[in-house]
Amino acid sequence: MILKALVLCADDKILRVLRRALGDLEIQFENCANAEAALRQLTRDRFEAIIVDCAGPGSAEVLRSARLAPCNKRAVAVAILDPEAGMRSAFDVGAHFVLYKPISSERARSSFRAARALMKRERRRNSRLSVQIPVSIVDPESGTVVKVSTTDVGEGGMAVKMARRAKPGGRCQLSFTLPGSSDGLEISAEFAWEGSGSQAGLRFVDLAPNVAHQLREWLTRNAADGEQDDPPVRCQLTDLSLAGCYLEVVSPFPRFTRVTLSMRAGDAELRVEGVVRVMHPEKGMGLEFTQSTAEHRALLEQFLSVLTENRNLLPELLVEPEGLETEAQSSAAGGESTGPKDPLLDLFRIGAALPADSFLEKLRQQRGITARVGASA
């Protein structure tokens, strides 16, 4: 399926660079020369990305409106800024990525490569596959079991057919088996909506990583368009603690992006989920880990031990996006830490608004006085 971007830009030089960069990444774009035309298109068509030259009048309104338009509120937003403009202002009006002028083709391709990975994941996460699967809905309080059938399934939930009198509210437990699979799934869910007929919508809650991975793989294999996610991005680990890490990467993902990080060092392998707390364009990003089980902590301690005992060992890291969240959703995902105080995570929380150079200097200073040493000096 074709990825589409809406561009608000009147600068011919920038448009030529965008045309080459987006074309290389197989992203189609529709350009609007003024904000009024862009606002009209936001209400008429769906786009996976909104790209705005912030030098033009009405640019901030377009970025804000994209967040409010029902069909485009999940679009990836890219702001093009003059060098002296503050990055914070662009993020405040809804931008996920920032490109500074003058824009080179290589810089644009690099940024849009990360944006494209998010565009695909967002579209996949919100798509639904029409399929009929028998499902058991269990009320956790009464133990009542209701047998239903799905009408569609997605990464975040499912629609089911059920009798009006059988529709409970609140949380429930789902039990079903995906076609072609021998493993049954047990998923917590909540009722999200009720249709005028026999349909109801169920939203998945607290999906375990292995269950989410299994569901996503099945949906990918059975999707009509057969579209594959972009491959994971290679990055370099500079700092690691039990609560998070900082990664050097040319095309970092924006704040509040949910990611999966695969790490390997020698015989030690680890796959963790996290959320981006700090992002510095063309430099790197800081992740807070969102898993807090004893097993996860033990695996992290083992990985840290391997790196500490083998200072010359360079770990292999791959990161891939799982989707964008709002600030409120992201904060809920991180939650309140119940373990010991973590200097790296504290720095992410207080330093997110700092300029990149100031943040990285604080990171270097902290690295020298804490025991939570990264993989490289």
DSSP single-letter state for residue 221: H
Tokens of residue 345, six digits:
């995570």
- Please tell me which residue, 377 or 131, carries the higher pLDDT value: 131
Q: Of 16-30, 182-196, 224-238, 352-366, which gets the smallest average pLDDT?
A: 224-238
- Whether pLDDT at 370 is above 50: no
Buried b (16+ CB within 10 A) or exposed e, 271-285: bbbbbbbbbbbebbb
Give the pLDDT confidence of 46-58 residue by residue, as tens digits.
899 999 999 889 9
- The sheet with strand 27-32 has its strands ordered as 27-32, 3-8, 49-53, 76-81, 97-100
Q: Answer yes or no: is pLDDT of 111 > 90.
A: no
- What pLDDT is stored for residue 277 in this prediction? 95
Window from 12-21, 97-106, 364-373 with minimum mean pLDDT? 364-373
Q: Provide the greatest CA pair distance for the chain.
A: 65
Least confident of 111-115, 120-124, 178-182: 120-124
Of the pLDDT bands very low, low, confident and very high (cuts 50, 70, 90), residue 263 is: very high
According to the model, what pLDDT value does residue 307 have? 87
Higher per-residue pLDDT: 376 or 346: 346
Q: Quick one: fold of 3-126? A: Rossmann fold (3.40.50)
Do β-strands 129-130 and 145-153 pair in parallel, antiparallel, or remain unpaired? Answer: antiparallel
Per-residue pLDDT reduced to its tens digit, 316-353: 999 999 888 766 555 555 544 445 688 999 999 988 88
**What local confidence, expressed as pLDDT, does residue 339 receive?**
55
Q: Which residue has the higher pLDDT, 123 or 196?
A: 123
- Tell me the average pLDDT across 97-108: 88
Task: State pTM to two decimals.
Answer: 0.74
According to DSSP, residue 229 is labeled P
- Across the range 66-75, mean pLDDT stands at 83
pLDDT for the residue 165: 57
Residue type at position 271: R
Asked if 238 contacts 249 with a C-beta cutoff of 8 angstroms, the reply is no
Q: Of the CATH numbers 3.30.365.10, 3.40.50.300, 3.40.50.720, 2.40.10.220, which one belongs to the domain with range 129-222?
A: 2.40.10.220
- Cβ neighbours of residue 259 under 8 Å, at least 6 residues apart? 253, 273, 274, 275, 276, 287, 319, 320, 321, 322
Cβ neighbours of residue 37 closer than 8 Å, sequence gap 6 or more: none
* Band (78; pLDDT cuts 50, 70, 90): very high
Q: Give the pLDDT confidence of 276-313 residue by residue, as tens digits.
A: 999 998 899 999 999 877 888 888 888 988 888 887 88
Q: What is the pLDDT of residue 374?
A: 41
Helix (H), strand (E) at residue 279: strand 268-280
Say what the pLDDT of residue 368 is: 56
- Residues 256-274 have a mean pLDDT of 90
* Domain boundary assignment for the chain: 3-126, 129-222, 233-369
Alpha-carbon separation of residue 224 from 71, 78, 127, 128, 221 (angstroms): 21, 29, 11, 11, 9
Alpha-carbon distance of 136 to 154, in angstroms, equals 17
Q: State the architecture of 233-369 in CATH terms.
A: Beta Barrel (2.40)
b vs e for 32-63, b when ≥16 Cβ sit within 10 Å of the residue's Cβ?
beebebbbebbeeeebbbbbbbbebebbbebb
Mean pLDDT of 207-217: 82
Contact predicate 372/241, CB 8 Å:
yes
Topology agreement, domain 129-222 and domain 233-369: yes
pLDDT for 131 beyond 50: yes
- For a pLDDT cut of 90, what percent of the chain falls above it? 41
User: Residue 345 has what pLDDT?
Assistant: 93
Half-sphere CA count of 168, side-chain side, radius 13 A: 20
Chain segment 133-182, per-residue pLDDT in tens: 999 999 888 888 999 999 999 888 999 998 765 555 688 999 999 999 88
